[in-house]
Structure 1
C-alpha cells in the first residue's frame, strides 16, 4: 500500500528505531511539538513570566481545535482533562425536574461514567446500556434507551477498548427527539475521524490532546453549542469562566456569554503550546484524508490478524471502527512489555493489545507488529 503521508515520517524521530502504534494511548512525539516545548521553556527562561505569550498560545490552540471540528473559537472552553469538562457540564444540569436519567454505555471510558455516577446524590439515575465489544449495534442500543426521562445522553464516538464507532449524529437525533442533550467524548476520535459539529448537530463535545491529537496530557477542549451554552450555568467554575478574568473582582460571578463560561482556573499554558503545534500539523494534512488512510490500515490489520489466527475484538468492518484494532491476548500487559523490547510500541487494556496507528504509520508497521504479536503469544 502506498503511504500518502510518507514525507511527514521524518517529523517523528522515534520511527527511526521503533514502530509506535499506540495512538489510542499516546501518539509519537513530533518535531513541531518538541519545538513548541522548547520555545515555551525558552520564553520562560528569557522573560520569566509573559502572560501575553501564554494567552496567545491558549487562544491559538482553541482556534486550531475549532477549525478541526468546524466550530468557532469562542464556542470552545479549555480545561485540564475530559473528566473536568464532563464535571463542569454535570454541574450545570438538574435532575429534579422529571428528567433524572443519564444514558451511557458499558463501553464508554470509566472516567466519564464515574462523573455521571457521582451525580447520584443530586438525583441522577444512570442507565448503562449493555454494549458489547466487536458489535456494530451500539448506536441503536443507545438510541433505544433514550426516553422522556432522559436529561443527558453520553457517548464515546470511538470506544477506547475496541475502537467501535457510535454514530453521534444518530444518537443526537434520538436525544433531541426526547428533549435531551448529548455529550460526546471524542478523546479516541478527534484527529483521526472527521468531525463537523454543525453538520452532525452536536450539543457538547470534549477531547483531550494526548492521543490522536498528537499532544500531551493536561489539556482538553470542550465545545458547547452556543445557544445551549447560554442556558447552562455551571457550579464548577473558576476565574477564567468570567466575562473578564483580569477584572479580579471576587464579588462578581458573571459568566461569559459563550462556552468559555465552562473554563475553570488558570489554563494549562504549556500544554496549550503543544496542542497548538500538534493540531496545526493535523489541520495542515486534513483529518478526512487521515481518516480514509486509517481505514485502509484497519483493513490491513483485520486481514493480517485473520491470517495469523489472532482473535480480533474490534468490529470486522473497517468503516465501523476507528484506527484502533484490538487483539484479544492473555496477559496483555506482559505482552505489551515484550513487544516494546522487540521495537513495537503498542497499548494493552485488560485482555487486549491495541494496534492503533496514525497517519505516520505504514501498512508494513501494522503487519510487522501483528506478526511479532503472533510470535510472542505462541
Structure 2
C-alpha cells in the first residue's frame, strides 16, 4: 500500500466516483481524468461484461501504476445516473482519509479456512498497529458469482474478521450466467475472490435490507445436489412444478421475473434470508444462487413496497448528515423486479438523489453470510460526523 499525501477539500472529493461507456476504447483514461489526480489508497472498478475485458487489467495498471485495484464484472451498474448497463463505474478511496490492504483468494476450490483466518487476523492487527488514529474500519469482499463458493468463503473469513464488518457482492454477467470475473489489479480471474480491508477517519455505517414479506406458504427440499446448488424435488414432487404450483403459475412460464416476484427464504432467528432461485433447467430442476440442502424448509415471500422501503432506508442513512458516498451491492433480482413493475426510472432517481454507487450482483456478502435479493453496502460520512449508536 502506498502512503501518500494530498489535500482534497471539496465534499465530493472525499470519495471520488466516475463512469464511462464500456465501449469507449479509452475508458480507463477517461475514468482517471474524472477521478482526478488523487493520490488514492484503493480504486474499485465495476465493469460491464460488454467491456474489453482482455485489455482492462493492462490498461488499468499502465494508467494507475501500483495503486491497489479491485473490481469485478456486473449484472448491471449503479452510477451517478442511477441504474445503468454497459458502463464501467469507478470509485476511489483517497489516501488522505483511507488506508487499505488487499488479500486475493486465487482458487476457491482449495480454500484453507484456518490459514485464511490466520492471514486475515495478522493483516487486521498490523493495520490497527500502523494506523491507530483511524478509528473506523470495514472490509469489502468481491467474489466470482458463478463459483458457488460464497457461503463457504464468507464463513471462513468471518473467523478472522473479528469485529470488522464485512460486506460485498458476487460478480455478475448480466442475465447470461455464463462467465463472471474478479479483478485483483494484476488480472481478471474466475473462481477467485478479493478482499479489501479499509481503515478510515470517515465514520461509516454498514447496512443490509430487503423489502420482502413472508407468507404462510412453505415447502421442504426433499432432494438436492448441494454442491451444485441444485434442487430436484420439493415436497417429494419435481422442484419446478411444485414451486410453480405454490406460487400459482404455469410451470412453463417460470422465468427470472417469476423468481424475483416470488422469492423463497430460510428463517434464521427472527429474520428470513432469501435463497434466490437463479434458473430452471430443462429437466425441471431449480438452480439456486445460495447454499441449499435437503431438509431445508423454504418460505415463499412476496415483494413489499420496494420504492417506499428504499426511500425510507436511504433517508435513514442520511441522518444526522448526508453521507459523502453510499457504496451498494444490489441483487440482480431487485433490478428485474423494478423492470417488471416499470419502476426502474423511479428507483434510479432515488439512487441518484442519495449518491449511491455500485453494481447489480449475483448475491451479496454481509458478515458471515451470503444472501440474496438485498441491498447491502456501506455509507461513508465526512470526517468528524457524529453518528448515533442507532439509526433513527
TM-score clears 0.5 = no
**TM-score calculated relative to the size of structure 2:** 0.25
User: Which has more strand, going by share of residues?
Assistant: 2
Q: Name which structure has the greater RCO, CA cutoff 8 Å, separation 6+.
A: 1
